[in-house]
Structure 1
Amino acid sequence: MQRSRRRGTARPRHPLALTMTTLGIIGAGHIGSQVARAAVANGYEVVIANSRGPETLAGLVDELGPAARAATAAEAAEAGDVVVVTVPFKAYASIPVAPLAGKIVIDTNNYYWERDGRVPALDEGRATVSGMLQEHLPESRVAKGFNHIRSAEITSDARPAGDPGRRALATSSDFEDAAAFVTRLYDEFGFDTVNVGPLDESWRVERDQPAYGLPQTRDELVANLARAERPQAAA
């Protein structure tokens, strides 16, 4: 169950080594593949996994070049200095726990009840998608990222810093360094950032909220986040 925490009370910063070069990616679908492309283009090494086995990723790895390799989910979790989890929400409990202990984990997941089955705690606003992953990974530092952008736009919508039309994306975490890393990654990929606050506020950027899926500048994203209305449990 999502822990209750007042907005703005992030946990203490945990320094991330400046030598970080490897991004583990668990999930090689539309979002995972695009994050991998953007990461390699920005100088990261990538270790990527899917549910079907490393051999099924040969084409993607060939495209990405020598900075990328395919692996199992456990191997990607172990190899990544920071790890992106981008699997269907219904599969989040299959994410390996031990190899991710002590690491920043970027969660791209969204809850689609038509695919994932009904989750009353989400339907009733008692939990958040990324909060549930944080519960599954108690020794990791989870941050929301890349959940409200279409996959193709991760590479097509990038603009340089200072561009007045630069798109903004949201992040959310209970850990300052995790949110800071997503902010850094967004900037490297060509996006501004709005930090929503701790994970119990991350519902503001989930499916069916005003900020979800729209190209928007920083000011527009801030306004849309403020317009969000959380589902309420039935009386």
Structure 2
Amino acid sequence: MIKRIDFAINDHVGLLAIPELVKKCQNNEYISVMRKYEALASGKLIDDKSEATGDTLYLGSKKSDIYFCIYNKEVEQAQKGVTLNAEQRPIKTRFEVRLFNERAILAVEDFLSHRNLENTVFGIIQRYVRFVDKRTGKARNQWPLNKRWAQFCGKNRAPVQLTLAPELPNVNRQRAWIQTQVAPTLKALFNIDGYQGTLETMQDIKNAKLSPQQEAMIREQTVGVDYLVEQLG
């Protein structure tokens, strides 16, 4: 069971200017299903003056199963004394997609189904948030996408919705999940059964209770459903 997974995108050229994104949130130039944002600034006091040393923007509630964190990675590395060699490019800003529980599982399933991590991560971002430029006289949902944000997100990436609504399981996703998470354990258990002369693992499979969604998936993908049920029963 996956409890949490984070995806990190490193911005080496400064496309994500945090103060600019914060200002857009304040001006309502931020369209999202997420209803909350939080902007934090860190610094140190010198002669009663504040010297800014970093900025962080949270999109979404940190108590929810999905939220985004954008922060100044360059400042963080400088504070930690991290030195880069001549071949390394400094990371100016880092965008983190933080997922928990079922949403984390759905993200992994999408990646295993398509084997394209970039499309999965940016698909999630595009589904849940976009920054736009205000246009007087136009409805907010018709405001054009901010050019810097569009450059960051790239083109031709389909949104990925991490919905928790019941839906028919995707066969390819189920097989990918089996291959990476279940098959190695089953292989070990079958080897143990073979050595001990038992059929416990096969019996567990025969006695497994199918969910309504799994039964619907069988009906959709097979013709001889009654025969299959008979064989497993």
TM-score if structure 2 supplies the norm length? 0.25
Question: What TM-score, normalized by structure 1, do the two folds share?
Answer: 0.25
Greater C-alpha Rg: 2
Bigger helix fraction: 2
